[in-house]
Every structure is written in C-alpha cells, then in structure tokens.
Amino acid sequence: MTTAFAPGLDATHDPLSRCWVDSANAADTDFPIQNLPWGQFRADTTSPWRIGVAIGDAVLDVQATGLLDHADMARVLSAPAPARRALRRALWQGLQWGAPEQTAWPSALWPQQAVQLGLPCEVGDFTDFYTGIHHATAVGAMFRPQQPLLPNYKWVPIGYHGRASSVLPSGQGFHRPWGQTLPAGAAAPVFGPSQRLDYELELAGWVGTGNTLGQPIDLAQAHEHLAGITLLNDWSARDIQAWEYQPLGPFLSKSFASTVSPWLVTPDALAPFRCAPAARVPGDPVPLAYLLSAQDQALGSWDIQLEVWLQTAAMQAKGHPGQRLSTSSLRDAYWTLAQLLTHHTVGGCNLRTGDVLGTGTLSGSRPGQAGSLLELTHGGQQPLVLDNGETRRFLEDGDTVTLRGHCERSGARRIGFGPCSATVLSARSGPVP
Ligand code: MN
C-alpha cells in the first residue's frame, strides 16, 4: 500500500491516522496523533521533570515508552533535525490504532489534568522581535503620527535582548510590577505599582540545534535549527515602558514576567500549514540578499490562528469562562521565523538550544485584531466595555489572560497549541528599595 503525500509531508500528517488514545481522535482536540508536541511534566512539585508528548487529554511519558533513556529535554532538542523527526515518527507509529504498543504504552500515559506542566525546555536566552507590522504601525502612530514606522523597519528585523529568568510556564501567576513612571505633565517620576499593565499576543520560536560562534545560520537551513513554536505573552507595563525605553529600548517594563505555553509544536507537525508570509506592499524594499530566498517567500510562514481571551475576577467568580478580545495570525508578521534566526546570527552570534525568539505582538490590520490593550483601547483613552458590563483600559488584579492558537485547513488534521494562561496578582506591598 502506498500513499502519495505532498512535498514535506509523510504518513505522520495523514488526516485519517487514528490513535488508540480515544481523546486524541476528538475533532476539536489540540493534540491529535498528527501533532505530538514536546513538553515537560511532573506528578507533583517534589518529583523531577519528565519528558512528555501531548496526546489528546493525556501526556505520554516518553522515557517510559523506551524511546528515550534520559529526561534531558535540551538533549532531545539539540539533536539534528532528522533525529528529532525520527523520534516523532517512532512516537506516531506506536500511538497508531492497532500498533503493538497499544498494549504496553497505556501505562506510560498520565492525564494532563493530573500533572504539572512546566516550561517546554530550560530557557537559554530570550530575544523579542517586533515583526507585527500592524502593531508597530498602530503603536508608532501614538508616538509619531507623522512617521509611525521608522525608516529601518522594512530593512532590518527589529529586536531586543530580553530576560530569560522570568520566562514562566503557563498557569503561574505573577505580581503587578513596581517601577518608575512619569505622570502626565510632571517634571519628575514617581515610584509605584504599574497602572498600565498590558499583555502582548506573540508566538515564540525555540532553538533546537544551535550554531557555532561566528558561523551564521543560512536562511535555507534556518528551519532545521528550529525545535518548535509556543505561544508567548510578553506582559508589558506601558507606563514604565514609556519613561524608560529611550534610547536603548524596553528594560524593566518587560522583564518582570513573560508566559509561554507548555507544548512545543514542532516544524514537522506544522508542515501541512506552511504558507507564504503576507505579501510586501508595492514600494516596500526587497530584503537584503541574506534575508531573501524564493523558498522563504513562498512557504516561510505557517497559517497559525491566534486568539486572546480575558477572564476577569468577577467572571471567574460566576464560573464564566472569559471573553475573547481579539484574533490574529502569524501571517501578520512582516518577517518570517527563518529570517529572524538568520538575522540573529548574521553578525556571528551563536544561538543555543532553548533560546527563545519572540515574534513581537501579532496584531491584524482590522479592529478586533489588536494583540494588546494598548491598541484595543487606543492607549487607554477608549475603555473596552466587556460583555458583563465591566470596562478595561489596562489589566486589573485578578484578570486572567489566555492566549490560544491553532492550525486548520482542508485536507489536514487540525492541531493546536494548548492554552497560554496567567493571572495578574496584586503588587507586592512595599518593595521600596
Ligand atoms: Mn513583545
């Protein structure tokens, strides 16, 4: 029996493939047998982290299957792409309905609800880019109505070095940050809890195989260095940011917390959803040669649909699951992840396993597609009226923000990312230095 698959696809993408874990066959699951994202889990806070893949509403303990003899996620992700691909394929084979493993592997399953999910991998360095051109244009217009986008934007992927130590797993709350802010019209700053706390809807590329110092990653090889993609919420204190950001960029306004989803969705799982990045508009410059390839222009993006949900404390108290605030897509990015990987290394910088590259806030071009409250409320000037009558200019204590993402197209099985969620806790009392 032979089946023809489109270029880049194989039996692991077959939409008809079924799993002996029943919940993986549900139409709306994020984790069918075609996904198999990597994550770290543990039974309780005193147990060591283990390597798992999400399958339906369960986690498969990969070490318990015998396919791995260690629990070192960085070691798994640092392997060359063909080895990572082979491991995914072995998992797919064992999880298929009727596979011999159907009798042995069930003992390696844990209910996702019963375990703690951690970061997908220990975070190396964290770089955040600014590829969401609609976000960059909308925010730029607030500060520079005459020139929303600076002249470099369409030539060079803009980014800054973020903070890895405060990248948090989904589900971990964080305290509203304290900092310096400059009240309107004031001559001197004040010190206190941020009053303009915001979220940012982003995706994050995680580095698998690194590169040697001084040896840049060629654009054509970039995806081979990508271990996978998660959702990323780059929490931002807008009042602290406005006062501190010039001339070197954001600092404490971003470094207090960033939340990532627990499951690393691999480029292999995403293969059916490759697509062209949004076309550059007429008059845009052609990227410099090191950032330009026909392959990247044709298939350098993935059709990943994104959503932001807000559940206020009042909603939670009434058992209300929250309200969707906006939707957008990775196709709203001006630069591809391959271009970001290549640009990051072009001067010689070495990327290492576990490094995280944020896309920047992904906002669409239309109202209702803004990836931050800064845009949805026009800098806090037009409060958002929620379905239950509450209003928001920026986040309040007790608010839970959840990002979601999925891929869907005819002829392929829908896959998802799982939620990226965290609750804003009240500012700690009196951290005055
Ligand atoms: Mn950001």
SS3 content of the chain, % helix, strand, coil (to 5): 25, 25, 50
Instruction: Give the model's pLDDT for residue 7.
Output: 77
Instruction: Give the model's pLDDT for residue 362.
Output: 98
CB 158 within 8 A of CB 339: no
CB 322 within 8 A of CB 311: yes
CA distance 110 to 61: 8
Instruction: Give the model's pLDDT for residue 284.
Output: 96
Measured in angstroms, how far is the CA atom of residue 162 from the centroid of ligand 1? 9
Q: What φ, ψ does residue 407 adopt, rounded to 5°? A: -125, 140
Measured in angstroms, how far is the CA atom of residue 360 from the centroid of ligand 1? 4
Q: Is 247 exposed, middle or buried (0-12, 13-18, 19+ CB in 10 A)?
A: exposed
Instruction: Give the model's pLDDT for residue 367.
Output: 85
Active-site annotation holder among 13, 135, 223, 344: 135
CA distance 294 to 205: 21
Measured in angstroms, how far is the CA atom of residue 64 from the centroid of ligand 1? 38
Q: Identify the three-state secondary structure at position 112.
A: helix
Reading the block at residue 261, the tokens are 């989803």
What Rg, from alpha-carbon coordinates, does the chain have?
22
CA distance 363 to 338: 20
* Known active-site residue 225: no
CA distance 122 to 207: 11
Instruction: Give the model's pLDDT for residue 143.
Output: 82
Instruction: Give the model's pLDDT for residue 3.
Output: 62
CATH tag, 126-425: 3.90.850.10
CB 34 within 8 A of CB 296: no
Architecture category of domain 11-117 in CATH: Roll (2.30)
CB 23 within 8 A of CB 58: yes
Measured in angstroms, how far is the CA atom of residue 48 from the centroid of ligand 1? 31
Measured in angstroms, how far is the CA atom of residue 128 from the centroid of ligand 1? 6
CA-closest candidate to residue 337, choices 195, 190, 232, 214: 232
Reading the block at residue 345, the tokens are 């290394």
Strands 178-181 and 274-275, how do they pair? unpaired
In the chain, residues under CATH classification 2.30.30.230 are: 11-117
Q: Give 10-residue mean pLDDT values along the chain (433 residues).
A: 74 97 97 98 96 98 97 98 97 98 97 98 98 95 90 97 98 98 96 98 98 98 98 98 93 98 98 95 96 97 98 97 97 96 98 98 94 96 97 98 97 97 94 58
CA distance 85 to 266: 9
Instruction: Give the model's pLDDT for residue 433.
Output: 55
In the chain, residues under CATH classification 3.90.850.10 are: 126-425
Measured in angstroms, how far is the CA atom of residue 373 from the centroid of ligand 1? 13
CB 37 within 8 A of CB 113: no
Instruction: Give the model's pLDDT for residue 431.
Output: 60
Measured in angstroms, how far is the CA atom of residue 25 from the centroid of ligand 1? 35
Instruction: Give the model's pLDDT for residue 69.
Output: 96
Reading the block at residue 379, the tokens are 């800098």
**pTM for the structure as a whole:** 0.97
CB 199 within 8 A of CB 401: yes
CA distance 111 to 60: 9
Measured in angstroms, how far is the CA atom of residue 308 from the centroid of ligand 1? 15
Measured in angstroms, how far is the CA atom of residue 89 from the centroid of ligand 1? 34
CA distance 24 to 94: 14
